[in-house]
Amino acid sequence: MDMETVNKVLQYLSPIVVNCQALVIDGKQAHWHVRGVNFIAVHKLLDKVVQHAQAYADAAAERVVALGLPVDARLATVAAKSTLPEIPDGFHNYDVMISQVVGQIDATLKVVRDAIGGLDDSDLSSQDVCIEIERGMVEDRWFLAAHLAGNQG
């Protein structure tokens, strides 16, 4: 694979790694501070979202590294480059936390979908990694958002 293509993969997959790592950190924050009648279900579901986000970050990072380039997912880099909206500080009802995490998943899906489109004509294997991430994130989003369905009269 030529260096131009490898650099393009890095350009598209690095934001996925950064946002997924931010989702891991913020998802745990939400997991620890969620409250309300759906506490146990949402608490456990947020742990699944965190586990999945870690796996997605790993898949994207390992694809870049396998192509010979380094990935920067250090805490300072994640804090500086993440495009996720902030999770509120402290304890919050489940609907607030779910809305915030769904917003974070949406922000991550944007960079994932940008990568899918951007890699369409250059590296189908890297695009396939992104498609798998998108598929899983959409399912996580659905599971979370389903808890809000009763609140949207």
Contacts of 84 (CB under 8 A, 6+ apart): 19, 22, 23, 26, 103, 104, 107, 108
pLDDT in tens, 3-55: 999 999 999 999 999 999 999 999 999 999 999 988 999 999 999 999 999 99
CA-based Rg of the chain, rounded to a whole angstrom? Answer: 16
pLDDT at 48: 98
pLDDT digits (tens, 9 = 90+) for 107-136: 999 999 999 999 999 999 999 999 999 999
147 with 41: CB under 8 angstroms? yes
**What's the number of domains the chain is made of?**
1
Q: What is the spatial distance between Cα 57 and Cα 130, in angstroms, rounded to a whole number?
A: 10
Residue with the two structure tokens 């979202």? 49
pLDDT, one tens digit per residue, over 95-108 is 999 999 999 999 99
Name the phi and psi angles at 91, rounded to 5.
-80, 140
Whichever domain contains 94, its CATH number is: 1.20.1260.10
| DSSP symbol at 92 | E
Q: What is the tens place of the pLDDT at every residue in 61-90?
A: 999 999 999 999 999 999 999 999 999 999
Residue pair 98/152 in contact (Cβ under 8 Å)? The answer is: no
Q: How far is CA 72 from CA 76, 108, 142, in A?
A: 9, 17, 30
Domain that holds residue 127: 3-151
